[in-house]
């Protein structure tokens, strides 16, 4: 059964720092992996999607990498800003015959001015 884990659970950094959020999954047979942002009491905003055949994806200050064989993904945020403060979730889609996303518990990020 696929399990998704995110470390650390919480992170507090000063503005301007580059930071890395980690996501690991137990079964390497995934179809794709998505990173989401969740603001308190709000919905999920998709940030990046990496297909299983890809190694990384970039969007602005965000870069996500995927190492399927080791069951890991990282989300790199460059030059962090207070507006980046949110919970970041990763989710894997197990296979092409499955529609569901399996989520990690998230990393709560606080960027201090």
Partner 1 sequence: EPEVTQTPSHQVTQMGQEVILRCVPISNHLYFYWYRQILGQKVEFLVSFYNNEISEKSEIFDDQFSVERPDGSNFTLKIRSTKLEDSAMYFCASSWDKTSTDTQYFGPGTRLTVL
According to DSSP, residue 40 is labeled T
Smallest gap from residue 16 Cβ to partner 1 (A):
29
Smallest gap from residue 2 Cβ to partner 1 (A):
11
Residue 103 binds partner 1, judged by CB under 8 A: yes
Length of the chain as a residue count: 113
Q: Kindly tell me which residue out of 104, 107, 109, 111 binds partner 1, with binding defined by CB under 8 A.
A: 104
Window 25 to 64, contacts with partner 1 (CB under 8 A):
31-32, 34, 36, 41-46, 49, 51-53
Q: Strand, coil or helix: what is 21?
A: strand
Q: What is the 3-state secondary structure (H, E, C) of 54-95?
A: CCEEEECCEEEEEECCCCEEEEEECCCCHHHCEEEEEEEECC
Smallest gap from residue 27 Cβ to partner 1 (A):
16
Place of tokens 């055949």: 53
What residues make contact with partner 1 under the rule CB under 8 A? 31-32, 34, 36, 41-46, 49, 51-53, 89, 91, 93, 96, 98-106
């Amino acid at each position: 059964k696929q399990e998704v884990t995110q470390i650390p659970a919480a992170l507090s950094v000063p503005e301007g720092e580059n930071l890395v959020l980690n996501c690991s999954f137990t079964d390497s047979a995934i179809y794709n992996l998505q990173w989401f942002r969740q603001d308190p009491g709000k919905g999920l905003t998709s940030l990046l999607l990496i297909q299983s055949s890809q190694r990384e994806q970039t969007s602005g200050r965000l870069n996500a990498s995927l190492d399927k064989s080791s069951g890991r993904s990282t989300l790199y945020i460059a030059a962090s800003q207070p507006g980046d403060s949110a919970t970041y979730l990763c989710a894997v889609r197990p296979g092409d015959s499955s529609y569901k996303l399996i989520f990690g518990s998230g990393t709560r990020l606080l960027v201090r001015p």
